[in-house]
């Protein structure tokens, strides 16, 4: 199989594209109800939109919500399915994303990187042992005062560069490639207004993971549960045999759920009950839980279990002492890959062909890809290369982004 030549000129294109994106302020805002959630996201959306037009991509569009779509037309006569690649251009509201001043470290020596001479802010290899993997690479870091935004501008830069590469190399044969960029992923709304039908892909990949090799097609099944405890308030001096203290009862209820099935005591494929909030007084108390499990049956059993505990509790303390309301939140996208595992296998093979060892992991959370999968667009998640997301220690290696470009090109040219 022909390997992709990615010479110095292409590396510089990828690097400069990424640097241009991270300098554009595009933090999203969970308090806002508009799409995009912030006006400033239009700055980067318009920049990318113009760039895609200048590169000569086909059918470049940007809708009223800031969703950008474009295509690399097929260059083969066969009827191959359209395959999509998706990334988000907002950055996390968890940390400052304005005035990003990226630092470039060529030929990293494995030691500490003083990101900011004035403050002494340092990316230390002792604190972040994963840095050792990057000896000899070109690292891009922050100046210690902002996040970097490799999450997910690395993904955007990789997809745009891969599209440019395919257009420049007509000898690489491929079907139609769809590319899509979204606002507001960091506030959980990246997929909300994504027009799956217009996108027209049979399946897609989000380029939004971390380390090289990451490939994810499983996430949690998720529900929220609110348990309300109804107490009875009586003057404490005259409460004998009468008072029902909802606050105390809430504490009792919390202890009826297994102590070894919480976020702090589980990992990998183990599910949990997570008490997010408990509040109350004598007359009323509320416990807010989230329930998570990768396995659909175990997830159903967890919901049944918490219902049974409420019944048990009421049998002891009186009818309607506790009331429960369970709300579904999202589902494991794995269920959408039944009979379609070739979508995952194509990505695995594309990595192997680029000398990357695939690392298949289950996400302990949700993703935009999971939402898209339930909207009819099966969508595993692939690494974008960055590490330490959402804070001042965020960094990415140019070589990791280059590997992601190669994976995209390999997927594009794979026989479907
Ligand atoms: Zn992301």
Confidence check: pLDDT of 4 > 80: no
Answer yes or no: is 88 a known binding residue. yes
Q: How confident is the model at residue 389 (pLDDT cuts 50, 70, 90)?
A: very high
For the chain, what is the mean pLDDT? 96
Answer yes or no: is 5 a known binding residue. no
User: Which is the catalytic residue, given 51, 80, 185, 387?
Assistant: 185
pLDDT tens track for 103-130: 999 999 999 999 999 999 999 999 999 9
Instruction: Work out the average pLDDT over 171-179.
Output: 97
Confidence check: pLDDT of 14 > 80: yes
d(CA 15, ligand 1 centre) in Å: 19
**What's the pLDDT at 106?**
97
**What's the pLDDT at 3?**
62
Confidence check: pLDDT of 301 > 90: yes
> Does the annotation mark 185 as catalytic?
yes
d(CA 184, ligand 1 centre) in Å: 10
Spatial contact of 296 and 285, defined as CB atoms under 8 Å apart: no
d(CA 119, ligand 1 centre) in Å: 28
pLDDT tens track for 192-247: 999 999 999 999 999 999 999 999 999 999 999 999 999 999 999 999 999 999 99
Least confident of 1-10, 282-291, 377-386: 1-10
Answer yes or no: is 390 a known binding residue. yes
Confidence check: pLDDT of 362 > 60: yes
Q: How confident is the model at residue 85 (pLDDT cuts 50, 70, 90)?
A: very high
User: Which is the catalytic residue, given 29, 51, 80, 90?
Assistant: 90
> Does the annotation mark 295 as catalytic?
no
Q: How confident is the model at residue 365 (pLDDT cuts 50, 70, 90)?
A: confident
d(CA 358, ligand 1 centre) in Å: 19
Answer yes or no: is 208 a known binding residue. yes
Its pTM stands at 0.88
d(CA 386, ligand 1 centre) in Å: 10
d(CA 382, ligand 1 centre) in Å: 11
Answer yes or no: is 151 a known binding residue. yes
**What's the pLDDT at 329?**
85
pLDDT tens track for 320-334: 999 999 998 889 999
pLDDT tens track for 16-72: 999 999 999 999 999 999 999 999 999 999 999 999 999 999 999 999 999 999 999
């Amino acid at each position: 199989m022909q390997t992709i030549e990615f010479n110095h000129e292409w590396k510089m294109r990828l690097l400069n594209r990424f640097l241009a994106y991270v300098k554009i302020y595009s933090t999203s805002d969970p308090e806002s109800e508009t799409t995009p959630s912030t006006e400033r996201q239009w700055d980067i959306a318009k920049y990318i939109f113009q760039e895609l037009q200048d590169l000569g991509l086909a059918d470049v569009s940007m809708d009223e919500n800031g969703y950008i779509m474009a295509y690399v037309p097929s260059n083969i006569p066969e009827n191959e399915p359209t395959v999509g690649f998706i990334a988000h251009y907002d950055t996390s509201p968890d940390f400052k994303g304005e005035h990003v001043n990226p630092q470039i470290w060529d030929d990293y020596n494995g030691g500490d990187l003083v990101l900011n001479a004035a403050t002494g802010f340092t990316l230390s290899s002792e604190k972040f042992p994963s840095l050792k993997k990057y000896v000899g690479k070109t690292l891009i870091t922050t100046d210690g005062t902002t996040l970097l935004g490799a999450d997910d501008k690395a993904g955007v830069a990789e997809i745009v560069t891969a599209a440019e590469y395919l257009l420049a190399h007509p000898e690489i044969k491929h079907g139609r490639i769809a590319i899509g960029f979204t606002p507001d992923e960091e506030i959980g709304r990246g997929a909300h207004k994504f027009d799956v039908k217009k996108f027209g892909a049979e399946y897609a990949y989000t380029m939004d993971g971390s380390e090289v090799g990451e490939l994810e097609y499983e996430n949690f099944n998720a529900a929220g549960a609110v348990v309300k405890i109804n107490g009875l308030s009586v003057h404490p001096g005259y409460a004998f045999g009468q008072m029902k203290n909802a606050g105390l009862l809430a504490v009792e209820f919390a202890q009826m759920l297994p102590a070894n099935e919480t976020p702090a005591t589980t990992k990998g494929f183990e599910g949990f009950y997570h008490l997010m909030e408990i509040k109350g007084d004598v007359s009323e108390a509320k416990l807010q839980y989230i329930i998570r499990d990768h396995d659909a049956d175990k997830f159903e059993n967890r919901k049944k279990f918490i219902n049974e505990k409420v019944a048990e509790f009421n049998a002891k303390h009186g009818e309607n002492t506790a009331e429960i309301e369970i709300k579904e939140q999202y589902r494991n996208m794995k269920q959408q890959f039944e009979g379609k595992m070739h979508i995952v296998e194509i990505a695995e093979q594309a990595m192997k062909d680029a000398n990357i060892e695939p690392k298949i992991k289950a996400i302990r959370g949700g993703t935009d890809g999971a939402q898209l999968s339930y909207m009819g667009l099966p969508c595993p998640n692939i690494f974008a290369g960055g590490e330490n997301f959402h804070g001042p220690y965020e960094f990415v290696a140019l070589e990791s982004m280059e590997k992601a470009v190669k994976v995209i090109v390999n997927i594009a040219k794979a026989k479907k």
